[in-house]
Amino acid sequence: MFYLSVKNHNSVWRDFLLWSKTYTDMLTKDIFNDTETAFAIKSDADLEKAYWLFSIIKSEPLVKLGTAVTNFALKYHLPVEGIIRTTVFEHFCGGIDEQDAMRIVEKLYSKGVYSILDYSVEGAQNEESFDQTYRKTLDLIKLASKRKEIPFSVFKPTGMGSYEIYKKVSQGDPLDAAEQQAWDRIRQRYYNLMKAAKDYNVPVMVDAEEYAMQKAVDDLMEELMREFNRDKVFVITTLQMYRKDRLPYLREMLDRAKTEGYKIGIKFVRGAYMEKERERAKRKGYPSPICETKEKTDENYNNAIRLMMDNVEHGLIYNGTHNEDSSILMAQLIDEKGYKRNDPRLWFGQLYGMSDHITFNLAKRGFNTSKYIPFGPVKYVMPYLIRRAEENTSVAGQTHRELELLEKERKRRKLD
Cα–Cα dist 210/208, whole Å: 7
The only residue of 54, 152, 190, 242 in contact with ligand FAD, by rule CB under 6 A? 242
Cβ closer to ligand FAD: 203 or 320?
320
For residue 394, the minimal CB distance to ligand FAD (Å) is 8
Residue 208 makes contact with ligand FAD by CB under 6 A: yes
The only residue of 290, 304, 329, 331 in contact with ligand FAD, by rule CB under 6 A? 290
Contact range with ligand FAD by CB under 6 A, out of 65-73, 134-142, 164-172, 321-329: 321-329
Cα–Cα dist 171/63, whole Å: 35
Contact range with ligand FAD by CB under 6 A, out of 46-54, 194-202, 226-234, 318-326: 318-326
Residue 328 makes contact with ligand FAD by CB under 6 A: no
Cα–Cα dist 63/391, whole Å: 10
Cβ closer to ligand FAD: 315 or 410?
315
Residue 331 makes contact with ligand FAD by CB under 6 A: no
For residue 362, the minimal CB distance to ligand FAD (Å) is 13
Residue 210 makes contact with ligand FAD by CB under 6 A: no
Residue 389 makes contact with ligand FAD by CB under 6 A: no
Q: How far is CA 331 from CA 28, 324, 326, in A?
A: 9, 11, 9
For residue 196, the minimal CB distance to ligand FAD (Å) is 20
Phi, psi of 371 (to 5 degrees): -115, 135
Residue 214 makes contact with ligand FAD by CB under 6 A: no
Residue 293 makes contact with ligand FAD by CB under 6 A: yes
Contact 326, 332 (CB under 8 A): no
Cβ closer to ligand FAD: 267 or 314?
267
Residue 212 makes contact with ligand FAD by CB under 6 A: no
Measured over the CA atoms of residue 146, residue 150, residue 154 and residue 160, the dihedral's sign is: negative
Measured over the CA atoms of residue 54, residue 56, residue 58 and residue 62, the dihedral's sign is: negative
Contact range with ligand FAD by CB under 6 A, out of 26-34, 135-143, 271-279, 338-346: 271-279
For residue 405, the minimal CB distance to ligand FAD (Å) is 15
Cβ closer to ligand FAD: 17 or 396?
396
Residue 120 makes contact with ligand FAD by CB under 6 A: no
For residue 270, the minimal CB distance to ligand FAD (Å) is 3
The only residue of 31, 140, 197, 291 in contact with ligand FAD, by rule CB under 6 A? 291
Residue 197 makes contact with ligand FAD by CB under 6 A: no
Residue 323 makes contact with ligand FAD by CB under 6 A: yes
Cα–Cα dist 122/113, whole Å: 26
Contact 415, 48 (CB under 8 A): yes
For residue 130, the minimal CB distance to ligand FAD (Å) is 18
- x-or-dash pattern for ligand FAD, window 347-386, by CB under 6 A? --xxx--------------------x--------------
Binding site for ligand FAD (CB under 6 A): 207-208, 238, 240, 242, 269-274, 290-291, 293-294, 297, 320-323, 349-351, 372, 395, 398
